[in-house]
Structure 1
């Protein structure tokens, strides 16, 4: 199923919401090699990949956005022409990370000020102690695709 772009608030704001759980963050959040430079991948995404939308539209208003993929609210962050995807809900409190401030590769939770690295999901300072799950991202024919596993 194609992901949706969230609520009208999400579309206006450029993001919000998600699920955070204890998990393995050993996989990087970013993609296949062709995507790192912003180019399209050579082959169409296979099973499990979900189109979020056209790259230009996804980040037209803000460097972050929220999308629902496989029932999981995911935050997508554009940093230095690369896109990273993490679960959007802070693991410490019920706040949407895409509503927080993005500074380089770090996003600050708007509720208690905890910080996560969008590349790894790793918590960077208290009060957060548990990482957020990361998701692979790739581009194909101008679209942004995310893979979220159950």
Structure 2
């Protein structure tokens, strides 16, 4: 049985430029958004290792590096880069609808 998605508006699409990033706090969720090659990725803005903000990390392709200890996470899957398991950052479904970036807070994975 699937549950209905509940999309929450975050910002105008034009406010998140190519290779851009932003931070949002919504309903107890701290979210880092990244736009890479016309895809928008939304992840929890807290490294699962020690809680550092990932929104401020170094970005290379679709990999974000934690500024505190250097762990690298794939923005699409949330998994540690190059590893199939272990620590993972929460990811959120994201869409562009009517020129707005929206996330499904209830659809988080990891």
TM-score for both structures, normalised by structure 2? 0.83
Q: Which residue among 43, 50, 53 is the counterpart of 2:8?
A: 50
Q: Which structure has more strand as a fraction of its residues?
A: 2
Name the CA distance, whole Å, in 2 between partners of 1:68 and 1:48: 16
Name the CA distance, whole Å, in 2 between partners of 1:51 and 1:139: 10
TM-score for both structures, normalised by structure 1? 0.62
Contact residue 121 and residue 132 of structure 1 kept, 8 A: yes
Q: Secondary structure at the match of 1:97?
A: coil
Greater RCO structure (CA 8 Å; 6+ sep): 1
Unmatched segments (≥5 aa) in structure 2: none
Kindly report structure 1 stretches of 4+ aligned residues shifted beyond 3 Å.
none
Aligned length: 102
Q: Which structure has more helix as a fraction of its residues?
A: 1
In the TM superposition, residue 94 of structure 1 has moved relative to its aligned partner by 2.1
- How large is the RMSD of aligned CA atoms in angstroms? 2.1
